[in-house]
Structure 1
């Protein structure tokens, strides 16, 4: 693995000190890895993978490509595979770039929303906001705005978004 760490570092044009600083280890520790005198523990391997977008298979075994696909190309493939709208792709892209604690907050909030929707008869097949009108929020303000605007009970939800009467199929005229 030491050879691949050195190859990665050289590819990124970083010194041992710079490489180590970004993952919270000292430059001489990086040197020890590169020389094969010691192997990084799993937590350091995970940091390398995450910080430098490296393929775990390549780093551990030398198999496959050095780098993982860029998030945008992976997202493009996901959007293609699942026929996602631009709005859905933007939401997913924003979500995956959140810090883990913010992701958890947002997931908890979505679970609350899903529970309220399950308990009501709201038609969720049509988007409430056209995708070209999605607001642009920072991570914190987005979560706080959603949290403040989510109805707390099915009754509050129905009050804010009254049910729409189904259209009649009879012609009047």
Structure 2
């Protein structure tokens, strides 16, 4: 854009707004508002634009922080202890249920980050997404009759391509 963003702030409301682009006129009068121009110097080289492929504004750089990886590994190790205590082996675990749970967590995370980019990362956005997913799960469990093994394969085969299509479709970017 080749120009510094315009910054407006309101000490009374404790808010700041940044406008960038060629359509905003810094000399235009603001009219009756609590916002006033903030004169500061922006360094664009240090700021990475938020995008769908990395929407986590709270992380300094891309990657998984150690504070996240260590508790994950600890939970994984602690979950293996009771399985070993009762004699469950890796072959006895229902891996398809494990991966369905992992897919559910990925879908929930994608929904939260997408809506956080759209509406802002607030507790209301997160609670709406989590509540909507829980309602969908409740409806699915209430409306799905017990299926035979053959019918369940027929019903689950379309889901992997449909889930993959949501990651590559243009309307999700």
Same fold (TM over 0.5): no
TM-score normalized with structure 1 length: 0.28
| Structure number with higher helix proportion | 1
Q: Which has the higher strand share?
A: 2
Q: TM-score, normalised by structure 2?
A: 0.28
